[in-house]
Amino acid sequence: MSQSTHNQYPELNGKVAVITGAGRHEGLGEAMAKRLASEGCKVVITDIGQAQGAHMPKSAIGTSDEMQQIVAEIKAAGGEAASFVCNVLDAEQVKAAAQFAVDTYGSLDIWVNNAGIGYLMKPILEMDVEEWDSVLNVNLRGTFYGIKFAAEQMVKLGNGGKIINIGSQASKSAFAHASAYTTSKHGMNGLTRTAALELGSEKINVNQICPNHVTTGLGAWQNAHFSDVTGKGHEKYMEEMRNRIPLGRPGLQEDIAKACAFLCSDQASYITGETMNVSGGEEYH
């Protein structure tokens, strides 16, 4: 994704944002980080940094080197950025990431819970408990830690803040062969709404973005995987996807980045507890 200066939301200039799971090129995290940086935010890119076990292979995570590359790209485009290795399953690392933002840039105004597992897709009868736990733990426990420790800093600083959780169309509708993923994203709805209720008095808005399919690096894997398991082949699978989306195309990284910037802006100051579809009309509830 190329970065340019937007300045659509001048109130974001100088705000400090942490984006988890943002260390991969062509990912939603990268797109959101670069969009917020283009609005003048000082961004902290976090990711796990290195492969950890069979369920978090190198092909699915942001490495330390790739994180540094994305930081360098943001700086080359005139933005401010830093990186911080953070496994969202480790409470102390998530807490340290929030502290790092404050220590480095003097504040913490925006936290985006983007880290997640969207590649352990099996039928219920074939999924083992370790795979189930990996998806639920990263997607839900990791989001809980992000909300908790970001909010702690925001309350301490006393300036309010914006917390954005990245859900999915699977937050609203079920999908075969994706029981753990669908369950985790449905659970995020309740977590988002409860956090919004609890943190509203601290002037912290908590919202969720629910994309339909976006062909990120992970999305390309999902396309190949579901083309195979449905027996339709890639061309037919993608044609059917386009046909069921009223706007006629899958989502782009930029679509989600635009929604994130809006929800972080003052234009969304009276919006909290929402699970906002960004799906070209495919998902409407």
Q: Which domains does the chain have, with CATH numbers?
A: 10-214+252-276 (3.40.50.720), 220-250 (no CATH)
- Residues listed for the chain: 285
Mean pLDDT value across residues 132-149: 98
- Range in 47-61, 80-94, 168-182, 194-208 the model is least confident about: 47-61
Integer angstrom CA distances of residue 157 from 41, 147, 152: 17, 15, 9
Mean pLDDT value across residues 102-120: 96
* Rounded CA separation 204/24 (Å): 28
Mean pLDDT over the full length of the chain: 93
Residue tagged active-site, from 9, 105, 181, 237: 181
Mean pLDDT value across residues 155-175: 97
Token representation of residue 65: 């080197």
pTM: 0.92
The confidence band for 223, taking pLDDT boundaries of 50, 70 and 90, is low
What is residue 237's predicted lDDT score, i.e. its pLDDT? 75
105 given a catalytic annotation: no
Residue tagged active-site, from 148, 185, 232, 237: 185
* Rounded CA separation 174/130 (Å): 21
Mean pLDDT value across residues 9-17: 98
Judged against a pLDDT cut of 80, whether residue 219 lies above it is answered with no
Q: pLDDT over 70 for what percent of the chain?
A: 94
The confidence band for 279, taking pLDDT boundaries of 50, 70 and 90, is very high
CA nearest to 31, candidates 204, 218, 245, 205 = 218
What is residue 129's predicted lDDT score, i.e. its pLDDT? 97
Task: Give the burial string for 103-132 (b: 16+ CB within 10 Å, else e).
Answer: eebebbbbbbbbbbbbbbbbeeeebeeebb
181 given a catalytic annotation: yes
pLDDT in tens, 33-61: 999 999 999 999 999 998 887 788 877 88
Q: Which residue has the tokens 């996807």?
A: 241
* Rounded CA separation 257/61 (Å): 20
Judged against a pLDDT cut of 60, whether residue 3 lies above it is answered with no
